[in-house]
Amino acid sequence: MSKLLQYADNQRTLYSRITESVDDAKGAVGPRYDSLRREAVNYAEYMISQYRIRKRQFAQRDDRFVSNLRLLDFGCGVGRVMEACREIGVKHVDGCDISREMIEHAKASDYLQGSQFFLSSGFDAGAAPENHYDIAYSFLCLHHIPMRQTRIAILEALCKSLKPGGMIFAELRVFPGATASRIPVNHAHWTENRPARDTNSAADVWVTRDSLGELVEDFRLFFDDIGVQEFDLKQDLYEYKADEIYQLGYNELFVMASKGAELRDNMQAPT
């Protein structure tokens, strides 16, 4: 079995084991799920604000602009961010996940009636339609994938799902206290292909500041106008804690890019 298939099979088996109930599934998303769900509204609003900039749509109360958007959530889990998008007025948001169990839990959400869900093989967007979405996004997902080959395949699939001029928006974590050559055991450098048997923080890809160029180049395979935004989470970034899953502190990293040179074209002064 190839590393790509082996990794996908490992993840599918893991999530099948740990997501039998909806409470189990929420626990797999992270501790303090209710808090994460509330925070998701802020993330959804920030994501859409970045899309507004790319489209030069600066009117904050243009409800039609938001309601008409079509969004695809990759790694949707139980639908935490999908629900937040609905809450702020997006009418069309679909989900994709490797876990059939997670998708079934999301389908049961009162917020998500009418959404479509697609089962991923682990390195694609399932049967999600091509050239259909304005935004394809991924929260709390890609940084759990230590397989570069898998991430590249996912980026390609999400690019295909977007309309021309659509935006990808990905949440990752950056570890300023680490370097590409010094990443703790079980975690992977951005360029590695590591078919880890565990996930959800136990075996992640660590983005370091000296690997940002490689990250951008992977996005550049399919996208233009790449933006990288680091947010300081006020953690100790340099104290090494051997007994922690994340032995060093991290900041939040958002990567956004367009399918086609949308931002540059829209920002140029009219002639």
Phi, psi of 126 (to 5 degrees): 60, -135
Q: Which helix (H) or strand (E) is 256 found in, with range?
A: strand 251-258
Closest CA to 166 of 142, 131, 139: 131
pLDDT mean over 155-179: 97
One-letter amino acid for residue 122 of the chain = G
Q: Which residues contact 182 (CB under 8 A, 6 or more apart)?
A: none
| Structural tokens at position 177 | 């206290």
CA-CA distance, 161 to 175, in Å (whole number)? Answer: 30
Q: What is the mean pLDDT of the chain?
A: 91
Other Cβ atoms within 10 Å of 229 Cβ, number: 11
- The band of 60, judged by pLDDT with boundaries at 50, 70 and 90, is low
Domain ranges of the chain: 3-267
pLDDT mean over 178-193: 91
The string of pLDDT tens digits covering residues 109-146 is: 999 999 999 999 999 999 999 999 999 999 989 999 99
Please state the pTM of the whole predicted model: 0.93
CA-CA distance, 26 to 102, in Å (whole number)? Answer: 9
CATH code for 3-267? Answer: 3.40.50.150
Burial class (CB in 10 A: 0-12, 13-18, 19+), 185: exposed
The string of pLDDT tens digits covering residues 78-118 is: 999 999 999 999 999 999 999 999 999 999 999 999 999 99
